């Protein structure tokens, strides 16, 4: 076995002059025997193979070829080449390090022979080319990937060098332009351009652009080329530039965008249809993202917010509307998204009411937004409410009409009956001594009759028959008169824990109306206010002047102008929403059993307000009391009523003659007794025709004329015929109804006064004496 010779011993194989190069060289240098024993090695080789020193390498490796080659076959091939050629140049193989790791090396080995021909030893160099091999591998991968991309690309790719030679193209290029293989094989760009001319709509423009780009090497370009077969090709071109800005040629990319252009056109048409649709509707249309910001808003919605549609985009409801309304909208948005289904709600923004339909919408981000349609139903809601109110008014009017028929049918007869009771009880009481039990009975009959007559008048008021609103009235005076009555005093005594407050305005304007009905209205409102309070509380009555130019609650419009306002408020139990719509209905009452009231009080108030062309507003809630506000139109006329008339007791009759005309026997007899009691000479007839016949032959100082007589002429016609006999004939009118149009016309004809039945001695006596004394 050959003995190993270390480098530090005298070396006969190399010259001393080469030792410095040998040890300082950056590449591995070795000398081995043909059998693989390492005779010498430099430090670079030792480090390359994982050893600290050349000596350690030579001591450790006895067969360098067997120890260092990773692939035995590669080692054998290297030995064959060396024996055949005497040297091996740039032989690349994988080398094993001391720790077993592998690297790529490039080996140069030369056989040194003696003069006789046998190999003395082998000399060689080893270079670590691992990094280069990795770069080559990566480059090969990139080239393969590039080639695959090139062929797989949907773009047709063509590269032409600066001499007009085709240096690269892919299959897609030939497919797009339908280029024959033989034309491509020529690698001539000129022949290629001539080949594609046949497909172009405008070949001259195409070629002109190509020439321009070749002449302007730094420019890039993008354009669309229409083909005569209907296709559209998108063309991109960029220069091929080196790192030193050297121009190598130009690369072209071609893409068939026919389908894309068709889809874009269809999309534009679809968007136009969609935009026309959502912007033509008066409904609001929107789409919001997952954070509830608008990504679509139609013109109607934008107009509502006072913005342009594009200004609404990216804004949330909190940016566009009051916070309370925005919270309500956000809640229904979340509900639609969370439920994953359609949600229909009503939402209020300001004074508008909206019907909303919202639904979840999947977004491209994978999240869920919300879309919806909003319709302004304010007018519809108002119409429904107005229709409901109209229906209620119609029902109330129908009830009033039915009640009017009933009242009109019985009031006259009831008044005649009550008139007899009232009149005779009054006459009877006057003839009985004070303190007599019988007189107390007569007084009770009188008071009961008067109360019955008042109920009849309420029925007539509800029937709205015979309500005169022609007097100029001071509402403040009517209120003061009522507050001074015994009835009001007794009301306060029944409710000692209720505080009563007056806020009556000085200088209250006049109104035209019926003092009797207005007085009843005040009485009913105040009485109801007191009786609504169970324990402690307060009732307030106030008046004022007000100018109205806007509708009040419950009315579509009002007649613009000045109004006298009457308000009665209380701190009682209030009225429920359910009952509030029924309080003006006749006979509807919620009063506790045992308290006063027929259920006609507020119905009378309602009828009186209507008769006076006024308006009424009621505000109430359970437990919060009630406020009734009445509006009466102002008149600029002055009152000419003189209330300082003489009492019939102080001014009795002086024997004047009176003719009583009445179709009811009991009423005639009552009038005869009362007027006779006052000192008048009284005659009576049962009809208008009889009165006319009587006066043709006899004269009287005064006629007391019933307005309603059946059968035959009524009071107005009777008086008209009487005036033909005696144009200066004095008369007063009487009726169980309130003052009607025919009563007013008769008064205009010359009659002096109107007395409402039942007859009261003081009332009829005063009217007769006043008319007889009238000049």
pLDDT band at 590 (very low <50, low <70, confident <90, very high): low
Yes or no: say if 83 and 122 are a contact pair by the CB < 8 Å rule. Answer: no
The proportion of the chain whose per-residue pLDDT surpasses 70, expressed as a percent, equals: 87
Residue found under tokens 């085709």: 166
DSSP 199: G
Strand pairing class (498-503; 537-548): parallel
* Alpha-carbon distances, residue 392 vs 15, 237, 701 (angstroms): 133, 81, 53
What local confidence, expressed as pLDDT, does residue 592 receive?
Answer: 44
Can you tell me the distance from the alpha carbon of 64 to that of 57, in angstroms, rounded to the nearest whole number?
10
Which of 94, 122, 97 lies closest to 106, judged by CA? 94
What local confidence, expressed as pLDDT, does residue 409 receive?
Answer: 62
CATH architecture type of domain 657-773: 3-Layer(aba) Sandwich (3.40)
Same fold for the pair 153-256 and 263-376: yes
Can you tell me the distance from the alpha carbon of 662 to that of 775, in angstroms, rounded to the nearest whole number?
26
Orientation of helix 378-431 relative to helix 665-677, angle to 10°:
60
Q: Residue 730 in 3-state DSSP?
A: coil
Q: Residue 628 in 3-state DSSP?
A: strand
CATH topology of domain 263-376: Beta-Lactamase (3.30.450)
pLDDT digits (tens, 9 = 90+) for 434-445: 878 887 777 778
CATH code matching the domain that covers 153-256, chosen among 3.40.1000.10, 3.40.309.10, 3.30.450.20, 1.10.3720.10 = 3.30.450.20
Who's near 528: CB < 8 A, 6+ residues apart? 597, 601, 602
Which of 460, 426, 528 lies closest to 743, judged by CA? 460
- Distance between the two ends of the chain, CA-based, in angstroms? 179
Q: Residue 338 in 3-state DSSP?
A: helix
Query: What pTM did the predictor assign?
Result: 0.42
Q: Where are the alpha helices (DSSP H) in 660-755?
A: 665-677, 688-697, 715-725, 741-749
pLDDT band at 462 (very low <50, low <70, confident <90, very high): low
For CA atoms 280, 284, 290, 294, give the dihedral sign: positive
Would you kindly state where each structural domain of the chain is located, as residue ranges?
A: 16-135, 153-256, 263-376, 467-633, 657-773
CB atoms within 10 A of CB 605: 25
Q: Which residues of 685-716 are buried (b: 16+ CB within 10 A; e: fewer)?
A: bbbbbbbbebbeeeebbbbbbbbbbeeebbbb
Can you tell me the distance from the alpha carbon of 170 to that of 185, in angstroms, rounded to the nearest whole number?
12
What local confidence, expressed as pLDDT, does residue 243 receive?
Answer: 76
Query: For residue 466, is it left (φ>0), alpha (ψ between -120 and 50) or beta?
Result: left
CATH code matching the domain that covers 16-135, chosen among 3.10.50.40, 3.40.50.720, 3.30.450.20, 3.40.50.300 = 3.30.450.20
pLDDT digits (tens, 9 = 90+) for 258-298: 999 999 999 888 888 888 888 888 888 999 999 999 999 99
CATH architecture type of domain 467-633: 2-Layer Sandwich (3.30)
pLDDT digits (tens, 9 = 90+) for 332-346: 999 999 998 999 988
Mean pLDDT score of the chain? 84
Can you tell me the distance from the alpha carbon of 583 to that of 455, in angstroms, rounded to the nearest whole number?
18
Can you tell me the distance from the alpha carbon of 197 to that of 684, in angstroms, rounded to the nearest whole number?
129
């Amino acid at each position: 076995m050959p003995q190993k010779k270390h480098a530090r011993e005298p070396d006969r194989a190399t010259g001393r002059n080469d030792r410095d190069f040998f040890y300082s060289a950056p590449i591995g240098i070795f000398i081995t025997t043909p059998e693989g024993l390492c005779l010498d090695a430099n430090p670079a080789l030792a480090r390359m193979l994982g050893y600290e020193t050349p000596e350690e390498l030579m001591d450790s490796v006895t067969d360098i070829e067997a120890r260092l080659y990773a692939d035995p076959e590669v080692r054998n091939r290297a030995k064959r080449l060396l024996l055949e050629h005497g040297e091996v140049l740039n032989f690349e193989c994988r080398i094993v390090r001391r720790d077993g790791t592998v690297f790529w090396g490039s080996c140069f080995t030369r056989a040194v022979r003696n003069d006789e021909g046998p190999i003395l030893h082998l000399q060689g160099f080893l270079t670590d080319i691992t990094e280069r091999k990795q770069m080559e591998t990566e480059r090969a991968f990139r080239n393969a990937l590039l080639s695959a991309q090139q062929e797989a690309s949907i773009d047709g790719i063509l590269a032409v060098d600066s001499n007009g030679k085709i240096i690269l193209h892919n299959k897609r290029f030939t497919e797009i332009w339908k280029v024959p293989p033989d034309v491509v094989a020529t690698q001539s760009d000129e022949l290629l351009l001539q080949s594609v001319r046949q497909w172009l709509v405008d070949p001259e423009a195409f070629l002109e652009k190509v020439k321009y780009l070749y002449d302007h090497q730094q420019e890039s370009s993008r354009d669309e080329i229409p083909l005569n077969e209907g296709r559209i090709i998108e063309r991109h071109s960029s220069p091929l530039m080196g790192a030193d800005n050297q121009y190598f040629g130009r690369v072209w990319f071609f893409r068939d965008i026919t389908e894309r252009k068709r889809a874009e056109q269809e999309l534009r048409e679809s968007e136009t249809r969609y935009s026309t649709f959502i912007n033509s509707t008066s409904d609001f249309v929107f789409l919001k993202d997952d954070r509830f910001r608008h990504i679509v808003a139609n013109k109607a919605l934008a107009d509502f917010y006072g913005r342009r549609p594009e200004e609404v985009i990216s804004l949330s409801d909190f940016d566009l509307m009051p916070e309370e309304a925005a919270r309500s909208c956000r809640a229904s948005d979340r509900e639609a998204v969370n439920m994953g289904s359609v949600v229909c709600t009503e939402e209020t923004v300001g004074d508008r009411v909206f019907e909303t339909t919202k639904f979840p919408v999947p977004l491209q981000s994978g999240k869920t937004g919300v879309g919806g349609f909003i319709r302004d139903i304010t007018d519809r809601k108002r119409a429904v409410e107005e229709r409901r109110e109209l229906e209620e008014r119609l029902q109330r009017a129908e009830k009033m009409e039915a009640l009017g028929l009933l009242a009109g049918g019985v009031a006259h007869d009831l008044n005649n009956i009550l008139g007899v009771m009232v009149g005779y009880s009054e006459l009877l009481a006057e003839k009985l001594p004070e303190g007599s039990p019988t007189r107390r009975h007569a007084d009770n009959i009188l008071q009961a009759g008067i109360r019955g007559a008042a109920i009849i008048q309420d029925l007539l008021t509800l029937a709205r028959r015979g309500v005169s609103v022609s007097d100029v009235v001071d509402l403040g005076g009517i209120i003061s008169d009522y507050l001074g009555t015994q009835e009001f005093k007794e009301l306060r005594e029944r409710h000692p824990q209720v505080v009563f407050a007056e806020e009556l305005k000085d200088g209250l304007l006049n109104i035209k109306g019926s003092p009797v009905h207005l007085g009843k209205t005040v009485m009913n409102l105040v009485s109801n206010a007191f009786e609504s309070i169970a324990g402690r509380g307060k009732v307030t009555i106030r008046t004022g002047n007000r100018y109205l130019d806007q509708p009040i609650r419950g009315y579509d419009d009002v007649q613009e102008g000045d109004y006298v306002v009457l308000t009665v408020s209380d701190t009682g139990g209030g009225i429920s929403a359910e009952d509030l719509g029924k309080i003006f209905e006749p006979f509807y009452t919620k009063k506790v059993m045992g308290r006063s009231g027929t259920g006609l009080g507020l119905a009378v108030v309602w009828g009186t307000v209507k008769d006076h062309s006024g308006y009424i507003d009621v505000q109430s809630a359970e437990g919060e009391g009630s406020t009734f506000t009445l509006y009466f139109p102002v008149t600029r006329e002055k009152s000419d009523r003189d209330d300082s008339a003489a009492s019939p007791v102080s001014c009795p009759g002086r024997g004047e003659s009176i003719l009583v005309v009445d179709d009811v026997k009991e009423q005639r007899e009552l009038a005869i007794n009362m007027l006779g009691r006052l000192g008048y000479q009284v005659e009576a007839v049962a009809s208008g025709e009889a009165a006319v016949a009587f006066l043709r032959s006899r004269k009287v100082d005064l006629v007391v004329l019933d307005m309603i007589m059946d059968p035959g002429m009524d009071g107005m016609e009777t008086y008209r015929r009487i005036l033909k006999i005696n144009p200066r004939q004095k008369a007063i009118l009487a009726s169980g109804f309130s003052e009607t149009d025919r009563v007013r016309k008769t008064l205009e004809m010359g009659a002096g006064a109107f007395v409402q039945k039942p007859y009261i001695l003081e009332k009829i006596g005063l009217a007769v004496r006043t008319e007889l004394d009238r000049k």
